[in-house]
Amino acid sequence: MNDWSPQTERARTWFESLRDSICAEFEAIEREAGSDAAFEYIPWNRETEDASEGGGGVRGVMKGKVFEKVGVNVSTVQGEFAPGFAQSVNGASDEDPGFTATGISLVAHMANPHVPAVHMNTRFLTTSKAWFGGGADLNPPIPYAEDTEEFHAAFRAACMAHNPLYYDRFSKWADEYFFIPHRGVARGVGGIFYDHLECPDDAAWERNFAFTRDVGEAFLSVFPKIVRRRAEQPFTAEEKAAQKEWRGRYVEFNLVYDRGTLFGLKTGGNIDAILMSLPPEVTWG
């Protein structure tokens, strides 16, 4: 049994409650569409030789009429980074490679190409430092200005409630991060991305935890609205084919550039949970 710090336990409890709220809302959308699809929850444990390491999580996956494939993973793990990788993580080193991490990660690929795919995650990590990170970004095969503006407005409001500089800084960070250099294109229409919101004391931890909760609530408030707006919109075979080709760009980013994918693989995470971001059907031209 792992002995999480009180801060890690509070963050973990919040991430699990956010998962429950999001999954309930997504299942409600499926019911509205006449589908009985529901999340299947699969627990997993981090396998390690050292009894002081470990942890695990729960991977939730649903395949339905509206959500062609959506995965929601919550995990809490601890251990030591592999030599060479530790120095790439904030506050870790080969001499001090210990870490604890808890977070929620979500990726939804939609059946209708008019409904945007989406990614969201928030996390709390502890090395020799402690910090929050996360964000969300919208990934439409067929962009709509109305959807893009509503998505950004939700996160702009969440940011402004905490720091007037956050939105400009974090939306720019998302544009820079979610970019595919070898294609010379953005992965989607952006959102926010933040990392290393450090917590040197309890007051800073409370502030950053409150902001991270508001990021999760912003996602829950806005994305279901966009899904409901587009889910019944007619689409053509050509639009579906374009969606599958667009998904190839998403795969390329996640397997080549995404730091979360690398982190999961380097820390002995569950492979199916790490790769849940990959779409069910994809083509390359």
- pLDDT for 211 equals 98
Chain mean pLDDT for the chain: 93
Sign of torsion over alpha carbons 167, 168, 173, 179: positive
Q: Residues near 18 by Cβ (< 8 Å), separated by ≥ 6?
A: 104, 122, 213, 216, 217, 220
**109 counts as catalytic:** no
Cβ 62 vs Cβ 23: under 8 Å: yes
- pLDDT for 50 equals 62
- Specify burial of residue 9 (Cβ count, 10 A radius: 0-12, 13-18, 19+): middle
User: Is pLDDT above 80 for 108?
Assistant: yes
Which helix H or strand E contains 34, and what residues bound it?
A: none
* DSSP reduced 3-state for 184: coil
Residue 14, CA distances (Å) to 11, 75, 106, 215 in order:
5, 12, 15, 12
- pLDDT for 52 equals 52
For the residues 42-51, what does the mean pLDDT come to?
75
pLDDT in tens, 244-280: 999 999 999 999 998 888 877 777 677 888 888 899 9
Sign of torsion over alpha carbons 137, 119, 156, 140: positive
Q: At what angle do helices 145-160 and 202-230 cross, to 10 degrees?
A: 160
- Sequence letter at residue 147: D
Find, among 181, 189, 90, the residue nearest to 143 by Cα: 189
Query: Does the global pTM surpass 0.75?
Result: yes
User: Is pLDDT above 50 for 178?
Assistant: yes
Q: How confident is the model at residue 130 (pLDDT cuts 50, 70, 90)?
A: very high
- pLDDT for 260 equals 81
Cβ atoms within 10 Å of 149's Cβ, excluding its own: 12
Task: Give the single-character DSSP code of 65.
Answer: S
| 103-112, 233-242, 264-273: least confident range | 264-273
For the residues 33-52, what does the mean pLDDT come to?
84
Q: How confident is the model at residue 125 (pLDDT cuts 50, 70, 90)?
A: very high
Q: How far apart are alpha carbons 21 and 223 in whole angstroms?
A: 13
Catalytic residue among 109, 114, 119, 152: 119
Q: What is the CATH number of domain 6-277?
A: 3.40.1500.10
- Greater confidence, 53 or 43? 43
Q: What is the DSSP string of 75-143?
A: EEEEEEPPTTTGGGSTT--SSS-EEEEEEEEEEEEESSTTSPEEEEEEEEEESSSEEEEEEEEEE-SS-
Q: How far apart are alpha carbons 223 and 66 in whole angstroms?
A: 13
* DSSP reduced 3-state for 54: strand
- pLDDT for 49 equals 60
